[in-house]
A and B are shown apart, each in its own frame.
Chain A
Amino acid sequence: MALALRRKLHESVVYIDRDSAPRIIPSGEDFLLEDLPVGTRVIYPKPPIKGLPNREAAIRYAINHPLDCDPLYAQLEPGMRVTIALDDISLPLPPMATPDVRQTVLEILLDMLASHGVTDIHIIIANSLHRKMTPAEMKRMVGAKIFDEFYPDRYYNHDAEDPDGLVFIGETQHKEPLRINRRAAESDLLIYVNINLVPMDGGHKSVAVGLCDYESLRAHHEPQTIRDSDSYFDPQRSALNHKVTRLGKLVDRTLNVFHIETALNNRMYTGQMDFLLKNEDDFTSFDRMKFEAVRFAMSKMPRAAKRKLLHSIPAQYEMIACYAGRTEPVHEKILQKNFEQYSIPINGQCDILITGIPHISPYNVNSILNPLLVQVMGLGYFHNMYRGKPLLKKGGVLILHHPCYDEFDHEFHPSYIEFFNRLLPETRDAFTLREKYEREFAENPSYIQMYRRGHAYHGAHPFFMWYWGENGRQHVGRVIVAGAENAHVPEILGWERADNLQEAIAMARSYMGRSAEITMLHQPLIAVCEVE
């Protein structure tokens, strides 16, 4: 039995045996050690693909050998108007160690532009309805030299609510409108510098979503599109991706876009935190010591300090590919690399899926993972990490491990607070919420001002977060949140609560039977499960 269980089908899939070590589960800002039932399947991140030894050379090569278009230098003329758009702080996660790959690309680009007599250059962060990045974050992303030269007049955040800063460029044959950043639209050349962390990033999404306004976004960020996306990590079967592609084709017909896409490996942590990515059965004494030291230190710290500490640990990602040229062929190449890094073959679905919810999501960098974001991580991102079939059987039980604290960031997420406390107690139906309240929030003058002049997510953003979990909600039978420190947050989200993981597993087994198949996602994890 033990031997059979230990037989590895894939290096990232491990089965729990009678003598297996307990597993580390992140739960918010804490790391717990939990014994899992024998037979539980644990999915680990794939080993990182080796990074390119000279990323500057790889970027230069990509720019000089683009796909389906002329090299960049051949497109440049003195006096032309160029806009460079960048992905915002939601990518990659956690923010990577400096120099950020965007800084490297920018340094090469700006040198090339200057040597061709191009001086009218603006750098725009394609934050769409995300919060605007702070000056410190902007500086970290591009380095002090570029920041000092361009900020704030020529290096700034996109403003989706600036009536003078947007221009309507048309609509698709399905009547989806597209209004995008005026400077980008009216430039002779738009260069987009992307980081493709997961397969739902990049491609046409970069310009058509990153630089658009609320009206354009609501055409595809809506519950039915999300329900029809099976899953958003599978571009071929994602209705969201299909709609964005239609808009992207419209962009390609209207604008001259030179796309530079990069793919990163999944070397999230090295050094003192590398044990988080390891199989616990393979821990050395030093790994155990490091984990215990971290756990002890964290147990003595208040939550805000733990949060601050965790957000200050940068990821050690390495660039594994860079392509440039026209959006579609470039994105296709990068997606191949993404799948090579993340694709894990999985033998069969499970009845109970367990996942810890770590401290970070794309929407709370340097901030709090509030209850809506816990929801988006569990039912949105982690549920959607598949191609073909979901990891969890239809009607199965999803166990999340998180304290579910009732904490929100007033500066970054003001509209989330009203959404959570006022709307969710009334209804959790995504269609009703969209019909009845989305526009009210989107047009709330206070939220618009906080988005434009501060660092708040747009008033409509909590709705998108709720829709993001829509196919997860439709698929999952029950959600049990283990370790929830209160009853009201799980209740508002429509979830059950358990004091700890053992209790949650017992509850789940009472619904799914004693022989229920259990799988755990070993966080931090980015993967695309190819379920047979």
Chain B
Amino acid sequence: MRAAAFYDLEGTLVRTNLVHTLGFYARNQPGLWRSFKKSAATLLSIPLFAITDQYSRQVFNTLFFKRYRGETEDRLRFFADELFEKVLKPAVYPGAFELIAKSRQLGLRQVVVTGALDISVAPLMKYLGIDDYVANHLEFVNGVATGRLLPPVLASATKASWIREYAEREGINLNDSYAYSDSISDLPMLSVVGHPAAVNPDFRLRQTALHHHWPILDLR
């Protein structure tokens, strides 16, 4: 039976987070005034995002992705390559390449499970040589984002559910599989595999990793 390596993306393989992506799109609005307004709103929302993320990833997602309301799909796709070149590519941790290369040598399937937007991460997945990835999808009506995510929204427990279903579908042995994340919100995802590891962990995940004797990696 095959095995896989499941990665969270932001904070784990790259140093950026969802706010960097939102900030990039905010800076690239049609018109200077609109760019300024959106950028200022994003900046002012950061404390709120931080607090809600500590409270609940689901609540955070609801609040955060509302900021995409009114964005057109073609515009998001148009800027995806620039986002990759200017924001995501320079943000890949040096150790991420080695980690993925070593996992690949073991014959592990490389899978990214991320709460970021599918549109924004596609070029990065190709760049990192990821076999499969799953990301969140914005809801569009007539090509315009509603600010809601299409279910299932990938966060916390739903990432673990997705991994279980994926493993069943692809014939992956989870006991022999690896998972990497930086955040305590991914505890369910880390718990479903035989070889979990905390990568550049936040305080709570570090404590959990120490408690469970999980390896703690620093890819920075």
Binding site for B on A (CB under 8 A): 408, 410-411, 414, 417-418, 421, 443-450, 452-454
Contact = CB atoms under 8 A, between A and B. Distances in A.
Contact of B215 (A414, A421, A443, A452): A414
A446 B180 CA distance: 9
B126 to A, nearest CB: 21
B105 A447 contact: no
A447 B95 CA distance: 13
B106 A449 contact: no
Given A449-B95, A453-B219, A454-B218, A443 B102 contact: yes
Closest 5 CB pairs of A and B: A445-B102, A446-B215, A446-B197, A417-B213, A414-B215
B98 interface: yes
Given A410-B216, A417-B213, A418-B213, 4 more contacts: A411-B216, A446-B195, A449-B219, A450-B217
B98 A410 contact: no
Contacts of B178: 445-446
Contacts of B106: 443, 445
B219 A414 contact: no
Nearest to B210: A410
A443 B103 CA distance: 9
Given A443-B106, A453-B219, A408 B195 contact: no
Interface in B199-220: 209-210, 213, 215-219
Q: Which of B106, B178, B180, B213 lies at the interface centre, i.e. has the most chain A CB atoms within 10 A of its CB?
A: B213
Q: Which of B178, B209, B217 lies at the interface centre, i.e. has the most chain A CB atoms within 10 A of its CB?
A: B217
B213 A410 contact: yes
Contacts of B121: none
23 contacts: A408-B213, A410-B209, A410-B216, A414-B213, A414-B215, A414-B216, A417-B213, A445-B5, A445-B102, A445-B178, A446-B195, A446-B217, A447-B215, A448-B98, A449-B98, A449-B99, A449-B102, A449-B219, A450-B215, A450-B216, A452-B98, A453-B95, A453-B217
B213 A448 contact: no
Contacts of A410: 209-210, 213, 216
B218 A453 contact: yes
Contacts of B99: 445, 449
Contacts of A452: 95, 98
Contacts of A450: 215-217
Interface in B169-200: 178, 180, 195, 197
Interface size class of B (residues with CB under 8 A): 20 to 34
A526 B151 CA distance: 67
Interface in B141-170: none
Nearest to B197: A446
Interface of B: 5, 95, 98-99, 102-103, 105-106, 108, 178, 180, 195, 197, 209-210, 213, 215-219
Contacts of B102: 443, 445, 448-449
A468 to B, nearest CB: 22
B194 to A, nearest CB: 10
A470 B87 CA distance: 53
Interface of B is mostly: mixed
Nearest to A447: B215
B213 A454 contact: no
Nearest to B106: A443
Contacts of A417: 213
A452 B96 CA distance: 12
Contacts of B197: 446
B108 to A, nearest CB: 8
Contact of B213 (A411, A421, A444, A447): A421
B115 to A, nearest CB: 22
A449 B217 contact: yes
Q: Which of A414, A417, A418, A446 lies at the interface centre, i.e. has the most chain B CB atoms within 10 A of its CB?
A: A446
A418 B215 CA distance: 9
Contacts of A453: 95, 98, 217-219
Nearest to A439: B106
Nearest to B196: A446
Nearest to A162: B98
Contacts of A445: 5, 99, 102-103, 106, 108, 178
A153 B106 CA distance: 31
A301 B106 CA distance: 46
B105 to A, nearest CB: 7
Contacts of A414: 213, 215-216
Nearest to A418: B213
B205 to A, nearest CB: 13
A239 to B, nearest CB: 32
Contacts of B210: 410
A448 B108 CA distance: 15
A447 B105 CA distance: 14
A443 B95 CA distance: 16
A411 B206 CA distance: 12
A411 B218 CA distance: 11
Contact of A444 (B195, B209, B216): B195
Contacts of B195: 444, 446
Contacts of A446: 178, 180, 195, 197, 215, 217
A411 B95 CA distance: 17
Nearest to A415: B215
A445 B218 CA distance: 12
B199 to A, nearest CB: 9
Nearest to B100: A445
Nearest to A459: B215
A411 B216 CA distance: 8
A431 to B, nearest CB: 23
Contacts of B95: 449, 452-453
A408 B218 CA distance: 19
A408 B216 CA distance: 14
Contacts of B213: 408, 410, 414, 417-418, 421
Contacts of B209: 410
Nearest to A417: B213
B93 to A, nearest CB: 10
Contacts of A411: 216
A450 B108 CA distance: 19
B52 to A, nearest CB: 31
Nearest to B212: A417
